[in-house]
Structure 1
Amino acid sequence: MNRSFSSFFIIMCLFTVLCSREVEYRQISYEDYLDKVDGAWLGQMIGVTFGEPTEFRYQGKIVPFNLDYYYKHTGKGNKRQNYKRYTPDGAPDQDDVYIELLFLHCIKNYGINVTARQIAEEWLKRMDYNRVWHANKAAHTNFMKGIWPPESGNPKYNRHADDIDFQIESDLFGIISPGLPQESNRWCDKVGHIMNYGDGVYGGMFVAGMYTIAFFETDVQKIVSWGLRCIPKESRYAKVIRDVMDWHKQYSDWTYTWNELQKKWGNTDSCPDGKGKPFNIDAKMNGAYIVMGLLYGEGDFEKTINIAMRCGQDSDCNPSNAAGILGCSLGASGIPKKWKAPMKDFIYNISMKEIYPGRIPRIEIVKTTAEIGKQLIMKNGGKIIKKNGREILNIPVQEPVPPKKLEISKW
C-alpha cells in the first residue's frame, strides 16, 4: 500500500512540474509583423521582376554579369548589352505571386480549415489553363479528369512531381505562420500535394520554414538551418542543401560552390522536359540556388538577388524566394528604396480577373495575409495583448518537426 502511494505521489509531482512549466513566447508588435509581411510580399515581387529577363536563358551556365537595376531583354542575344535598363510601373503579373493570391483568396473565403479539394476546385474555376506550367499544369489537367488532391500531385498521375512549382508558391504558408514551422508544414503538406510530391513538396516546406523564423532572425545561416530542419534529413532535397552549406564553409567564392553543385547534382532533373538536358526545373537544384543567394548574399539585398539570379535556370523564381525571405527578415522598411519604389503600391492582375481587380492594392494583400496570420497564432495557443495602445503578438515557441514518412518520386 505504501509503495503504491509513493509511486502515485511521485507521478503526480512529475505531472504537476510538467504542467506548471510556462509556455515560452516570441513577441512581435502587430506593426512590425505587418512591416515584415509587406517585406515578404515586396521581396518576392522585386526578385521575380529583377530576374525575369534572364529566366532559363542560362541553363547549366552561370550568368556572366550582375544587374544593378531592373532590365528587359531585347531578344537579340545574351550579352550584357542586350539587356536594357528600365523602371517598372508596379509589380507584374507573375505565377510566383498570382498562384499565392489564389491560395489567399481560398483561405479568406473558406477559412483556415480550407481543404485541398476546395482549393483545387477554385483553381479549376478561376485559373487560366494557359497561365500555369509543369507540375501546376499537370495538376490542372488532373482536375479536369476528376483526379483530385493528393493524387493530382502524385507521380502516378503527375510526371512533374519533383518540379519547382510548389516551391515558388509556398512563401504564403510561411508568411501566415510567423514562428510556427509546424503550422507552415501542415499547410505545405495539404497544399503542396495538390501539384507536387516528395522533394517537390519538401522544397515548399523548406522555403516556408525559412520564412517562419525570418520574422525573428537576421542571421541568414540560422534561417537556412531552420528551414532545413523542417524536411526529412534523409531526403535528396536535404542532402543538396547540406552540400551547399558545406561548400559555403569551404569556398568564399560562390562560383566554386556553383561548380561543385553542377558536377554532383546538375543531371538529376526528372522533369520530362529536362531529363538528360541542360534545362533544369528540379526543386532541389533551384532550391540550392536560393540558398546560395542567401548565404553568399550575407544579408545584402542587391547581392542576394544577383547571386540567386546568376546561378541561372529558373532565375526569376529563385531570387523571388530569396528576396522574399530576406525581405521578411528586413521588413519593407529595410528594403532599399531603389528596389521597392518601382513596385509602386499595386500588383498588376491579368490571371484572375474574376476575383481581383486589374490593379490589386498591395496593402490589401498584406492586411489579409496578416489577419490570417493572427488567426493561426491564436489557433496554436498564442495570445494577442494590448500594451500602451499597441497590439503585441505573443507566439508560442515552436520547433520544426519534419514529416515522418519519406516520399520519393519513382517512375
Structure 2
Amino acid sequence: MLLDLNTYRDKVMGCWMGKNIGGTLGAPFEGKRRIFDVVGYTEEVNQNPPPNDDLDLQLVWLNAVEKYGPTVDARILGEYWMSFIIPDWAEYGAAKANMRMGLVPPLSGHVGNPLKDSCGSFIRSEIWACLAPGQPEMAARYAYEDAIVDHSGEGVYGEVFWAALQSAAFAESDKWKLIQIGLSYIPDNCGVARGVKLAIDAYRSGANWQEARKVVMNGVPGTFGLMGQPISDMETDIAIGEPGWDAPSNIGITIIGWLYGEDDFGRSLCTAVNCGEDTDCTGATLGATLGIILGRQALPEEWTAPLGDVINTKCIHNLSVTLSVPSTVTELTERVLRLAPSFLGYPIVDILAPGGYTLQMKEGDELFCRNDDRYSKGVYNYGLPKNPTKLRDVVSRAPYAVLFDFVAFSAILDYREDPFFCPGEARTVRIQLETSDFMNHPQWLELKWYLPEGVKLAANSTSSVFLPTYNMGKTELEFTFLADEFKGDRLEALLDITSRGRHSRGTVPVLLLKGTASF
C-alpha cells in the first residue's frame, strides 16, 4: 500500500492538531477523580493554546532524530533528556537522578522509580508513529527506546501499544483492527492489555460509559485521580490502586472515549476527559489517534479554529541555540515530512515518485506483530536483529540488560537485578557477546577488566572468547566481583573488548551502587 505525500502531510498535521486539541481540552481537569460534563473548551484559548507536556516533550525527540536519524536510541534520547527537559517531578525526575548517577537506560527508568508504570511515556508515542507510518514494528521499536529512558513495565507497554496502533492508523482506519494491532505488540497479561480489554468488554456488554469507567478503574486500579483531592471527595466504589501504577487505567479510559464516542471526534474526546484521572493525556492521545485516521482536513472546525496553528511549550529548556523548537503545527509537520526519507530509507520511501515522494506501508495481517520465532516482543530489547534467539533471550532480562553495539560485535551487560552491591557479598553480572547480524564471520574477542582498588574478580580479569557465525549462537560469560576490601560506595569497573584482527573495539562500563533500591 502506497501513501502519497499529500495524504501523509494531512494525516501528520491531523495528528499534531488532534494532540493539541485533546491536551487543551483535558488540561483543566487533570488529576481529579470524578465524572465531568465537558462538552467543549473551558478556557479561552484565542488561537494561543496553553502549553502541554503531552506535545512539547516530543519536540526534543524531533531534534534528536534530525541529528542522529535512524541510529537514535535510548542513550541518545537520555542525553537529550538530561540537557533539554526541565521537569524534575515524578518519573521525569527519577530518571534524571538515575542518569546523573551513571545509570543508563533501561536502568534509568526502572531503579528507585515508583512511577515507572505511569503515563509519562505513552504520551510521546506520536513522533514515532508519524516517522514510521504504516510500519508499526518500527514505530514500536523506537517507542521502546524512548520509554525506557524514564519508565519500565506498564509505562513501556503503554507507549509501545500506542506507537504501533498509531503507526498502523496511517494504513488502517477500523478502530477494532487498530486496537488489536496495538495489543499484538504487548504481553497478553500485562496491565495495559487488561485495561484495554476491560473497556472493550464493557462496551460490548451494553454498559454505558460511566459503568465502563468503573469496570476499568476497579479492574486495573490506579491513583492518578487522587492527586491533591480531599479524602472526603473520593468515590467510595472506585478502588485505590498502587501509587504510580496509572498507565493501565488511563489507557483503558482512552479506549472508552474512542468506543463510546461512536466515531464523533468531539464526543470521543469529551467522553475520555469526562472520565477524569489523567485527562490531558487521555484527551491528547485520543485526539492524535483520531487526527491520524481522519486527517487535518476532516477535523471539525469548532475544535480546530479556537487553537489556530500555535504550539506553546513549558517543559523544554530552550535557551541553547542547539535546540530548534517548532512554534506551529505546520512547522512541526513539515519537519517530520523532511525527515521521513532519510529515517525510513529505501525501499520504504521512493523519493523520485511523481508529485513528491511516496511511502510503502504494510497492510492487513502485516500490521500485526509477528508470532513466529521472530516474534516482536523483541522490541522490548534492542531492535529487530536477524537472529531470533536474541529476541527471546533478551526480553526475559529487561529491564536490567544494557546493549552496547560495537559494529563487528555486540555486548549485552545483564545486571540480573537492581545494580547494587553489599560489602562482603559477591556480586555477579553476565556478559552476552554476539557477532553483529550483518556479518557472517566468526571472530576472536579479547576481554580485559579494569577494576577499582579493593575489588577483585573471582576469575582472571583477562580472557579470550570465540564468537561463531552470527546465526550459530552466542557466548555468555559470568563475572563475579569480590569487594571485601573496597571502601567506596560507588563501584565502577570497565570491560575492554577488542575484536582480534579488526578495528572494532569497545568499553562496557559497569556501575554498582552500595546499598539497595528503595522501590
**Residues 46, 307 of structure 2: 8 Å contact kept:** yes
CA distance in 1, matches of 2:317, 2:132: 25
Aligned counterpart, 2:336 = 369
Selected match of 1:188 from 143, 146, 149: 143
Check if 1:133 corresponds to 2:89.
yes
Aligned partners of 1:190 and 1:359: how far apart in 2? 23
**Helix, strand or coil at the partner of 1:42:** helix
Q: 1:333 aligns with which of 265, 274, 297?
A: 297
Determine which structure has the larger helix proportion and give its number: 1
Aligned partner of 2:76 among 118, 128, 132: 118
* Count of matched residue pairs: 364
Please report how far the alpha carbon of residue 201 of structure 1 lies from its aligned counterpart in structure 2 after TM superposition: 0.3
* Structure number with larger C-alpha Rg: 2
Residue in structure 1 matching 2:109, options 135, 144, 153: 153
The DSSP-based 3-state class of the residue aligned with 1:343 is coil
Contact residue 345 and residue 363 of structure 1 kept, 8 A: yes
* C-alpha displacement of 1:164: 0.8
- The alpha-carbon deviation at position 281 of structure 1 amounts to 6.1
Q: Which amino acid aligns with 1:323?
A: G
Normalising by structure 2, we get a TM-score of 0.65
Give the counterpart of 1:360 among 319, 322, 327: 327
Alignment of 1:27 onto 2:2? yes
1-structure distance, mates of 2:103, 2:38: 44
Whether contact under 8 Å (2:47, 2:309) holds in the other structure is no
TM-aligned CA deviation for residue 47 of structure 1 = 0.4
Between 362-371 and 348-357, report the one with greater CA deviation: 348-357
Shift of 1:266: 2.3
Q: Note the C-alpha offset of 1:277.
A: 6.7
Could you say which structure has the greater relative contact order, defined with CA pairs below 8 angstroms and 6 or more residues apart? 1
Q: Contact 1:349 / 1:359 at 8 angstroms: preserved in 2?
A: no
Distance 2:64 2:5 in 1: 23
Q: Alpha-carbon deviation of 1:361?
A: 2.8
Contact 1:39 1:327 in 2 (8 A): yes
Structure 1 stretch 301-310 or stretch 216-225: which is displaced more?
A: 216-225
**SS in structure 2 of the partner of residue 62 of structure 1:** coil
Matched with 2:26 is 51
Corresponding letter in the other structure for 2:96? H
CA displacement at 1:280 relative to structure 2? 6.6
- Please state how far the C-alpha of 1:390 moved relative to its aligned partner: 4.4
Residues 252-271 of structure 1: matches in 2 within 5 Å? 252-266=207-221
Provide the TM-score with structure 1 as the length reference.
Answer: 0.81
Cα 1:273–1:144 change in 2 (3 A) is farther
Alpha-carbon shift at residue 117 of structure 1 (Å) = 1.5
Contact 2:223 2:241 in 1 (8 A): no
**Given residue 291 of structure 2, which amino acid in structure 1 is its aligned partner?**
G
Identity %: 26
Distance 2:355 2:13 in 1: 22
Contact 1:308 1:318 in 2 (8 A): yes
Q: Which among 74, 89, 97 is matched to residue 47 of structure 2? A: 89
1:228 aligns with 2:183: yes
Shifted more, 167-176 versus 178-187: the winner is: 167-176
Cα RMSD, aligned residues only: 2.8
Show the counterpart of 2:100: 144
1: distance between equivalents of 2:6 and 2:132?
16
Change (3 A) 1:369 1:383: closer
Within 5 Å, give how 1:311-326 maps onto structure 2.
311-326=275-290
Provide closer, same or farther for how the CA distance between residues 370 and 263 of structure 1 changes in structure 2, counting only shifts above 3 A.
same
Per the alignment, residue 195 of structure 2 pairs with 240
- Specify every segment of 5 or more residues in structure 1 that has no aligned partner in the other structure, as ranges: 1-25, 73-85
The alpha-carbon deviation at position 394 of structure 1 amounts to 2.3
Q: Residues 399 and 137 from structure 1, CA distance in 2 versus in 1: closer, same or farther, beyond 3 angstroms? A: same
SS of 2:3's partner is strand
